[in-house]
Each structure stands twice: as C-alpha cells, then as structure tokens.
Chains A and B, each alone.
Chain A
C-alpha cells in the first residue's frame, strides 16, 4: 500500500514535470575559473528544479561583453541570464534593459551582500544584477625580497614607500623587477589600473561639468610617477603586459611587487602553479594621504534582460548561483579556498574560510575601501572606480590607454600623452553631448 502510494506519487511527479514542459534558459558567462566551476556544479540546481534546463555560453571576457551588449541593445533575445560587470549595470539599468531582482526568494538575504558591491549594482535603491564574485585590487609582494631590501611592508603603504621599495628590490642581474604593473593599452587593461591609481593622487576623469581633467597637475603627477617607476623598476615589455603576463612573471619569481586584482592571490599562493607560493604577502593598495586608495572594485554579476520570456526560471537560477547555499555547495565539493569571493559579508566572518584563504581579510578591506558612488577626492558626476560608467568610456578609455602605453614605452613624453588624451577626451565628450 505504502509502496503503491509512493509509486503513484512518483508517477504523478514525473507526469507533472513532463506537463510543465522543461524550460531551457540560456546563460551567457565569462570563462573565469569560478564560472567554469559553477557550470560543473549545475546538477545541484537541476535536481532541485527538474523543470528547468540550462544552456551555457562561455566566452572570453571581451567577446562576451560584445556579444551580450549587441544582443541586449538590439533586443535580440538570445540570452535569459547574462554575466555582466559593474561597468554595464548602471548604464543598462538606466535604459531599463534589466529586470530589477526583487524576487530572489525569502532566504536570499540580500542584506548580506557587501555594501560596496551592492552599491555598484544598484540604481534607485533596486538591485539590477546579483554579484557572483567580487574583486578589488591590492599589493602582492615577496616577503623574502622585502626583507632582503631591509624594509617592512605596512598594511596600508603609501606610493612613496612602494616606489622606494620597488627600486631597492630591483636586481636586473638576477632578473628581479621591483614592481610589475599593467601596461597593455585598453580601458580594462592599463586604464583600469591607472584610473584607480589616479584616484589616490587626487585626479579625476571629469569635473562636475564633464570637462576632461588630463590637463590638471594631478594627472601629470600620476602618469609621471608611473612611467618613472616602471622605467626604474619595471619589467621589459611592460607596455604589452596585462594581467596574465604579470601573473606569469610573478609566479616565476621575477617581480618583487605586483598590484592587481585580488583574485590573483589565489593563483600566486597556489603551490601547484606558483614557485613563490609560500613567500607572498598582501597589503592594501597604496595612497598618498588624500583619503582615497589606488584600488578598484569589480563584480561579475548575473543580470536578467528585460525581454526574456523566462524571467521566473531565470530568477530562480540567479538566486541559486549567488545565494549562500552555493557557497556551502562549493565548500563541500571543492573546499573553502575555491568559494567565489567578495560578495557576502557572512563568508568573511566564517572562520573556516579565513583559515583556507589567508588573503581574505585584506580582500575584504580592499573591497570596503573602494566606493564606486564616490570614487575620487574631488567631486565627479559619474559612478565607477576604475572606469566611468558612461557608454562612451570603453572607446575613450582605450584611446587614452593607447596614448599612455606610448608614454610607458618611451615613444612619447608624459606631457605629450596627457595633451593628446585631453584633446581626444574633449572631442569625444563634445560629440556625445556632455560638453555643451
């Protein structure tokens, strides 16, 4: 009898599932390690939601951005969930291209999301994309080389200290460069770093009237400092180095310091990949005492395009992937060190995570010290720490990045690069109608 009921129940359930007609949602995502791991763990989601099937489109960051932007702007309707960053969310939300995420379930606990991250993903107090993982940037340094140079890294260094240390650590004969920084042209490459750095020097992209500020002394100081430092203590070929190139240099022990994304910490501290895994220390990104640090803020997040027919299923998926349960799932399957970082305060209060990730506290402090809604010392009309959240920024940022990489390569002077950047910015901003 009992068995019979169970059997009937099973039949009913399966019939129901059949009747509900499994819905397929298409998810566009970037091919970072954490996202790839999520793909492998989707069984957990589909078992809980047998009526939803998942199709994945995994692409390299730049191609992904092109694809999803073209699709959402032309209302192509190819995706139900899109992985987007803190740059896209404010722009898209303004166009009402994204569904506000107000139906993520009772146990989602949106208040647990780190406030700095949530701030960058919200508009008018509504969350438009749920953070999957968040990152800032900080200093990674070689403890052994620092000691050899007779210095001690403070938790919150100044740029002067960093420059001094970099020059002292440099040993060209031993192929050790004091500092490795991004130099490859691009709005998400050298400009991500330089814009964040300029914030700590008191510079800004635009004043309140959208007038470009590259003719101001703060920018001159920033770029001169960067070019001089890289000339004295940077690696050869710096003007084509991005994240990957610097990562490889650091892992092979060729950098004394490296200022870049906090996610790099899990690579350089992993003895499987890194020859210097046990010698890495972490510190906050440097400042110049003006109240802002040179670190950025980024969160790869899941958003739902407003045109989708499958909003409910999509929301279920977003809630699953960015919820607390997912963190526990990853921890149980792959260990705490592999949990996607930087989204939830509760994770950083978890002693097990603190034990597994020695860089946890520094990551959280870095994230908390960046404020996308108030990124600079002087007031600005825009949102974004290492970018300006306007549609024109990707193109303009890349142009300026090209000019600055020429200064780094020694092909133009700092003054010429800044003057050209100013001209290009005025031109672009006038055309887009910001400067009346």
Chain B
C-alpha cells in the first residue's frame, strides 16, 4: 500500500520535473534542432523537426577551424582553474580553520575586486598586456581568467571547508597527528568533493567568459567565444550556422557537465557527516 503511494508520488514528481526541465532546456534544444536545419528552414517559423542537413556544420568548419579554438578553450579554462585552485585552496583552508576577526572582511574585499566593470578597464589592461607582450598569448589569458575567478573560487571553497567539522581536527590532534598529517590524511579526503565541484564550476565560468577572451586575443590564443563571435552576424540571416557554431561551442562543456553532474551534486553532500 505504502509502496503504491510512493510509486504514484514518484511518477508525479517525475512528470513535474520533466516538464520544468524541458521548459528550461527548450532554448538550447531549439538551438540544437535549428543547427540541423537549412537557413531557409531556420527562419520559416516554428518547427521541431529539422531536415537533418549537416550543411551548417560543414560551412562552419570550412570557415573556421573549430579544433584550434576548442583546444585554446580547454587550455585556458583548465589552466586558469588549476592555477586558481593552487592559490585558493590554502587561502580558503586557513580562513575556514583559523578564522580571525578580519576573515569575513577579507572575503568580502576579495569579492569586491570583481566590482570594477570590465569595459571600464579595457584600455588600461590592454596597455599592460601590450607592454608585457601578453596580447594573444594563452598564458596571458590564463592568468587573467585565474584572477577574475579567484574570488569566486576562494568563496566556494571557504563555504565548503566550513562544513567540515572541527572536532575531527581536534581528534586527530589528540592522536598526535602533525599539522601536515592532519592536512594530508584527515582533511584532504573530506575536502576533495568540494574542490571537485568548485573546479567544475570554475571551468564553466572560464569557458563562458566572453569579454576578455575576445578582446585580448587575435589568432593564437583565441578560444571558442571568439569562434562564436565570428558567426553572429548583424547583416545576413545565418541562424542555422550560428546555431551550429553555438552547439559546437556548448557541446564539450555540456558533455563534461553530463558526466560530472553526479560529482557536481553529490560531491557536496559531505556536509551530511556532521
């Protein structure tokens, strides 16, 4: 009896969740569908059934070499994330476990470094990049994105680390663990899920950063955001092509998200150990 009720509930939730999910996903779905249409079909009004042509993809690839942009995106997004983690993990760690009166102020200040609108500092940054010969280099962009996302990374890590109960630390200390042992054997295993989800989130943020990645690159370091910028045209209707380019740009991160969503979501449930 109880079982039947819970199955019915489960079906109810399933239907509700799928409806909501499809509504939210619809713009992306429609973009993917449009990418398999011809340009004429794309503007011909609402239709969920494309003719399945691949001509848009062929044209996109003929115009720009997708893999070059893709590779740059991967290098920049992953590189900046690793760099950010290297710098942020110790900081968030110490803020979470040895908080002082000023910890919250420092956290807030870090977030406030993101408040300068990017457009307002374009010229100063461009001049710095020019003089340090970092224009159109992957290293320049990697460092840039690392700095942009560092506050977020510290914040996320800090909130996750705070969930780790302090008693465990004390217990370990009682057992005579050294500080090093404490970090490596006790805390790190508990922190890994939080770090993993921060990492994923940061890769997404870096992947989608569309201001600096376009303004500071030319050819060598241009990532997928620049690839997209070459297909959105104010003169000429190329929605199928734009959709194909967008699908190509979204696909890798979508697939990555797909595979990691379990880590992304479950990774954070370690708070339950409390």
Which residues of chain B are within 8 angstroms of A247 by Cβ–Cβ distance? 236-237
What is the interface size of chain A, counting residues whose CB is below 8 A from a CB of the partner? Answer: 39
* A70 with B235, Cβ < 8 A, contacts A58-B64, A58-B230, A248-B43 known: no
Which residues of chain A are within 8 angstroms of B232 by Cβ–Cβ distance? 60
Query: Main secondary structure on chain A at its contact with chain B?
Result: mixed
Which residues of chain A are within 8 angstroms of B229 by Cβ–Cβ distance? 59-60, 63
> In the bound complex, do residue A76 and residue B39 qualify as a contact, i.e. CB atoms below 8 Å apart?
no
> In the bound complex, do residue B136 and residue A78 qualify as a contact, i.e. CB atoms below 8 Å apart?
yes
> In the bound complex, do residue B43 and residue A63 qualify as a contact, i.e. CB atoms below 8 Å apart?
no
Contact pattern, A 56-71, Cβ under 8 Å of B = 1, otherwise 0: 1111111100110011
CB distance from A174 to the nearest CB of B (A): 16
> In the bound complex, do residue A57 and residue B43 qualify as a contact, i.e. CB atoms below 8 Å apart?
no
**Interchain CA distance A200-B237 in the complex, whole Å:** 29
* Cβ of B255 under 8 Å from chain A: no
Stretch of B26-34, B123-131, B199-207 contacting A (4+ beta carbons < 8 Å): B123-131
* Cβ of B10 under 8 Å from chain A: no
> In the bound complex, do residue A67 and residue B215 qualify as a contact, i.e. CB atoms below 8 Å apart?
yes
CB neighbors of A among B223-238 (8 A):
226, 229-237
CB neighbors of B among A238-284 (8 A):
242-244, 247-248, 251-252, 261, 263, 267, 272-273
CB neighbors of A among B28-79 (8 A):
39-40, 43-45, 62-64
* Cβ of B145 under 8 Å from chain A: no
* A33 with B135, Cβ < 8 A, contacts A39-B63, A40-B62, A63-B229 known: no
> In the bound complex, do residue B218 and residue A248 qualify as a contact, i.e. CB atoms below 8 Å apart?
no
Contact pattern, B 231-256, Cβ under 8 Å of A = 1, otherwise 0: 11111110000000000000000000
* Cβ of B98 under 8 Å from chain A: no
**Interchain CA distance A356-B254 in the complex, whole Å:** 45
> In the bound complex, do residue B234 and residue A59 qualify as a contact, i.e. CB atoms below 8 Å apart?
no
CB distance from A255 to the nearest CB of B (A): 14
**Which of these, A40, A77, A79, A273, contacts B237 with CB under 8 Å?**
A273
> In the bound complex, do residue A26 and residue B64 qualify as a contact, i.e. CB atoms below 8 Å apart?
no
Which residues of chain B are within 8 angstroms of A252 by Cβ–Cβ distance? 43-45
**Interchain CA distance A243-B234 in the complex, whole Å:** 7
> In the bound complex, do residue A57 and residue B234 qualify as a contact, i.e. CB atoms below 8 Å apart?
no
Would you list the 9 A-B pairs with minimal beta carbon distance, nearest first? A58-B230, A78-B218, A55-B219, A248-B43, A60-B232, A63-B229, A76-B130, A31-B230, A243-B235
